[in-house]
Structure 1
Amino acid sequence: MHLKHLIFYFGLIALTACKNDKKMVSQTKVAFTKEGELTIHRITSDTSKINFDIEIADTDFDIQTGLMYRSSMAQNQGMLFVFNDETERYFYMKNTKIPLDIIYVNAAKTIVSIQKNAKPFDETSLPSNAPAKYVLEINAGLTQTLNIKVGDSLSF
C-alpha cells in the first residue's frame, strides 16, 4: 500500500509540474514574396487587362502548403500553382484563413473553371471539372468584381 501512495504522489507532482509549465507557441507570420507578374486577358476585349503580383508554388512543399496560415493578401496579389502535367485538379481550404477564388487554367493558359468564394478552413474538395495545369488563387470576390470569366487567358 505504501508503494501505491508513493507512485500516486509522484504522478500528482509530475502532473502539477507539467500544468504549470505553459509554453506559448507562436506561429511564424508568412509574408507574400513577389516572384512574378501575371496578366489576365479578357476574351471579350484586347484592351482590358488585369494585373497581379504573384507568388509561385511549383515545388511539392509549396503546392501542398499554398496560402495556408496567412492572415491576409493584398487585392493585387495571388498565388500561381504550376504543375508538371495537365489533369483534373482538386483543391481545398484546410488551414487557409482567408476566403479565396480558385481559378483553374489549362496548358494553353486559358481559364477552364472558377471556384468562387472558397470558405476558410473548409476541407470540401473543389474540383476543376476540366484538365488544368495551373491554378491561380486570389482573394474571394475578385473574379466577380473584376468580371474574370471562363475563356479568359493568362500570361506570366
Structure 2
Amino acid sequence: MSKSMIILIIVSTFFGALFWYFGGQDIQNEIPYYLKKATAKTTTIAVREVIIDAEVVETPSAQQRGLSGREGLSGNRGMLFPFAEAGEHSITMRGMLFSIDILWIHEGKIVHMVDDALQPKDSAEPAVYTPPVPSTYVLEANNYFIQESGAAVGDFVALGLTQE
C-alpha cells in the first residue's frame, strides 16, 4: 500500500471520528425513522397551518408500542393512531423516554388535548391519559407542538393520508 493511500485512510478516519463526535450520532437517531418511512404509511397533518409528518400505526400491536423506547422525535414529526370506531381511546406512557403532546381528534376537529405528557420517573405504573370524549384518531407529537401551533379544542385538523 502506498504512503499516500495510508495517509488518506488516516485523515478520512480522523475526520469521520470528528464528524461522529460533533453530531453524527444525531444522524444515527434518524436512521430508524427513515427506514420505517420507506415502508410505513405516513400522513401529513395540518393544525392551524403547522404541518406534521406522521407515521400511521394501524395494527393493535403497533398502536400499543407507539413511541415507546424511542429517544425522541425531531422536527415536526409524530405518530397517528386511527381507530375503526369512536371511543375514549387511552394513551399509555409505558416505556416513553420523552414527553409528548397528545391530541384526540374526532370528525376533523380536536376534541381533547394533553400538553407535555410524560411518564413519571418515580412511578412503577405507566401514566395513562384518557380523554373525556370519544375520538377516532389520536395524534402524538413533540411536546412543543400545542404551544407552537396554538392548537385548541375545536380547531379543524386536516388529515391527508399518503403512502410512501
Q: Scaled by the length of structure 1, what TM-score is found?
A: 0.71
Mapped contact 1:56–1:82 kept (Cα < 8 A): yes
**Which position in structure 1 is the counterpart of 2:117?**
118
Structure with higher Rg: it is: 1
Return the alpha-carbon distance in structure 2 between the equivalents of residues 113 and 93 of structure 1. 17
Mapped contact 1:37–1:51 kept (Cα < 8 A): no
Letter of the structure 2 residue corresponding to residue 80 of structure 1 = L
| 1:36 Cα offset (Å) | 2.3
Return the alpha-carbon distance in structure 2 between the equivalents of residues 97 and 140 of structure 1. 12
- The alignment status of 1:54 with 2:57, answered yes or no, reads no
> Structure 2 vs 1, CA of residues 75 and 99 (structure 1 numbering), >3 Å: closer, same or farther?
same
Mapped contact 2:92–2:128 kept (Cα < 8 A): yes
- The alignment status of 1:85 with 2:91, answered yes or no, reads no
**Which position in structure 1 is the counterpart of 2:146?**
143
1:128 is paired with a residue of what secondary structure? coil
The structure showing larger relative contact order (alpha-carbon pairs under 8 Å, at least 6 residues apart) is 2
Runs of 4+ with deviation above 4 angstroms:
none
Return the alpha-carbon distance in structure 2 between the equivalents of residues 113 and 40 of structure 1. 16
CA RMSD of aligned residues (A): 1.8
> Structure 2 vs 1, CA of residues 147 and 63 (structure 1 numbering), >3 Å: closer, same or farther?
same
**Which position in structure 1 is the counterpart of 2:108?**
109
Q: Scaled by the length of structure 2, what TM-score is found?
A: 0.67
Question: Sequence identity, in percent?
Answer: 26
Counterparts of 1:125-136 in structure 2, within 5 Å, are: 125-136=128-139
Residue 152 of structure 1, aligned match among 128, 146, 155: 155
Q: Which has the higher helix share?
A: 2
Unaligned runs of at least 5 residues, structure 2:
1-28
